[in-house]
Amino acid sequence: MKPSAIVLVDEGNVITTPLSKAIKKDFGLDTLVFHSFGEFNNFMLGFKNEIMCAVTSMVLKDAPNGELAQLCSNEKIPFIILTASYDEEILIKAKQLSALGCVMKSQHSLDQIIRLLTQIHTRKGKRVLVVDDSVTSRAIQAAILNVLHFTPVEANDGVEALEILQNNPDISMVITDYEMPRMNGVELVAKVRQTHHKENLPIIGISASDNKSLSVQFLKHGASDFLKKPYLEEEYQFRVMQCLEIMEHISMIRKFAYFDSLTQLHNRRFFFDRCPQIYSQMVERKHKMSLAMMDVDHFKKINDTYGHDGGDLVLKKIAELIKKHFPQPSIPARFGGEEFCVFIPELGLDSMLHSMESFREGVAAISVPHENRQISTSISIGITENPYSKLEEMISMSDRALYKAKQDGRNRVVAAN
Ligand code: GH3
Ligand code: MG
Ligand code: MG
Ligand code: MG
């Protein structure tokens, strides 16, 4: 079982009470609150392995000199120090004991602690692949990664690493030595980059070699960073964390760039970044695929009658239905305004027609409450199936079918011919 208890140790309740509430709200986790070193120590003796993190005051009546922080450090329990004053001595001690952070007791401490806890929470159990032919070097790295709450996975050389990566898509990061039998670190990086983009899988190259061009070789072949042996434990930790943070930032930026904030559906940019690749795969394998263009009927009238916020509610409701009717591997997106597109790999026209009819009926049955009234709506849909020479062609064929659906009276599905 993974450790999941968050323990708070402080004499008063001024910080622990709101912190417990915030932790429950943000992580859904219960906290255990102790008021002295003795209470904490008793608990720890029986349940050490269940503690995910301790948040502890540096000064307690029965432990005035940071003894509790020292205990956590000895027992390899991740901990955050709470302090009333920010003097140099405490900061140095926090660093020596490898505390996750040092937080001043103030009105801002809650935010800071939650931010630190979020870091461990998201990091917890992430698997990091350590590739090195030296058993000792692997063991040292595994120990550092364990302290950081990662789960290390070990490989003896590049060939073994590739095999592990292929069978374990949940590996979050690779750290590789240079000199190894069968396949060296740079060759491994080059190979991994054929299938794993830098933005999804950071790789850190490590070497003891004095060859100065090695770091360049690593980076040129797609490594995210390079570390020279011998390294300080802290430097190793820092590089690992930095690589992951960059990746997390990229994934956040990507999320903002690829999502429509009103409907929480993917947007047009995502659609055109993602679909061409899947389209090509389908063509290559001679598999079926189909595409639908959809446009809400007389939407302008909804806005005119119920206001823009009424219109927005309808769009949200339709987006919910889209998500429900077209789960993965379908790729739905909001193309703009009241227009949506759904690309469905592996689905032929007959099944598509069936599925779109059921969705259209669903939209026609919508009843959105708005200021004591109910808004109803309908949608027109144009569909097409492969084979056409391009994805764009499928879109324009569907668009033409959609136009016909509008002309024929709306609230209907028309297949391109
Ligand atoms: P048709 O049945 O022919 O499609 O008629 P329509 O009224 O739906 O089409 P038209 O293109 O004339 O109007 C679309 C309207 O959608 C105009 C625009 O103001 C509105 N719209 C676009 N984006 C949004 C949005 O995000 N929220 C709301 N509430 N309205 C939007
Ligand atoms: Mg080696
Ligand atoms: Mg429109
Ligand atoms: Mg419309």
Residue 2 reports pLDDT greater than 70: no
| Residue of 267, 317, 338 best suited for mutating to test ligand 1, as the one with most atoms within 8 Å of CB | 338
Structural tokens at position 22: 């915030």
pLDDT tens readout for residues 356-369: 999 999 999 999 99
Q: Which of 132-141, 142-151, 171-180 has the lowest mean pLDDT?
A: 142-151
Q: Which of 3-12, 76-85, 104-113, 299-308 has the lowest mean pLDDT?
A: 104-113
Ion ligand 3: residues, Cβ under 5 Å: 295, 339
More confident residue, 379 or 386: 379
Residue 402: closest CA among 336, 326, 340: 340
HSE-up of 187 (CA within 13 Å, CB side)? 12
What ligand is nearest to the CA atom of residue 205?
Answer: 2
What ligand is nearest to the CA atom of residue 306?
Answer: 1
* Mean pLDDT to the nearest integer, 191-217: 92
Q: Which residue has the tokens 């899947």?
A: 278
Q: How confident is the model at residue 341 (pLDDT cuts 50, 70, 90)?
A: very high
Residue 294 Cα, ligand 1 centroid: separation in angstroms?
12
**Which residue minimizes the CA distance to atom 26 of ligand 1?**
337
**Which residue minimizes the CA distance to atom 23 of ligand 1?**
337
Q: How confident is the model at residue 253 (pLDDT cuts 50, 70, 90)?
A: confident
Structural tokens at position 359: 């969705």
Q: Atom of ligand 1 at shortest distance to CA of 296?
A: 8
**Which residue minimizes the CA distance to atom 10 of ligand 1?**
300
User: Do the Cβ atoms of 161 and 133 come closer than 8 Å?
Assistant: no
Residue 157 reports pLDDT greater than 70: yes
Q: Which of 59-63, 72-76, 147-151, 308-312 has the lowest mean pLDDT?
A: 147-151
Q: Which residue has the tokens 């024929």?
A: 408
Residue 338 Cα, ligand 4 centroid: separation in angstroms?
6
Give helix 213-220 / helix 185-193 axis angle, nearest 10°.
20
Please tell me the distance from the alpha carbon of residue 119 to that of residue 117, in angstroms, as a whole number: 5
| Residue of 300, 314, 368 best suited for mutating to test ligand 1, as the one with most atoms within 8 Å of CB | 300
pLDDT tens readout for residues 270-305: 999 999 999 999 999 999 999 999 999 999 999 999
Instruction: Calculate ∠ Cα 205-211-217, nearest 5°.
Output: 45
- How far is the first Cα of the chain from the last one, in angstroms, to the nearest whole number? 57
Residue 28 reports pLDDT greater than 60: yes
Domains, the chain, in order of start with CATH, read 5-116 (3.40.50.2300), 125-255 (3.40.50.2300), 266-415 (3.30.70.270)
pLDDT tens readout for residues 88-135: 888 888 878 878 888 888 777 888 888 788 777 777 778 999 999 999
* Mean pLDDT to the nearest integer, 60-81: 91
* Mean pLDDT to the nearest integer, 167-173: 94
User: Do the Cβ atoms of 173 and 102 come closer than 8 Å?
Assistant: no
- Cα 199–chain centre separation: 12
**Which residue minimizes the CA distance to atom 19 of ligand 1?**
300
β-bridge mates for residue 289, sequence order: 345
pLDDT of residue 3: 63
Residue 147 reports pLDDT greater than 80: no
Tell me if the pTM is above 0.85. no
Ligand 1 first shell, C-beta below 6 A: 262, 295-300, 303, 308, 311-312, 315, 337-338, 406, 410
Q: Which residues contact 140 (CB under 8 A, 6 or more apart)?
A: none
Residue 192 Cα, ligand 2 centroid: separation in angstroms?
18
Residue 27 reports pLDDT greater than 50: yes
Average pLDDT, the chain: 91
Q: Which of 214-223, 244-253, 256-265 has the lowest mean pLDDT?
A: 244-253
Residue 141's CB: how many other CB atoms inside 10 A? 24
| Residue of 294, 295, 303 best suited for mutating to test ligand 1, as the one with most atoms within 8 Å of CB | 303
Percent of the chain scoring above 90 in pLDDT: 67
pLDDT of residue 1: 47
* Buried-state track 169-183, b at ≥16 Cβ within 10 A, e below 16: eebbbbbbbbebeeb
Residue 20 reports pLDDT greater than 70: yes
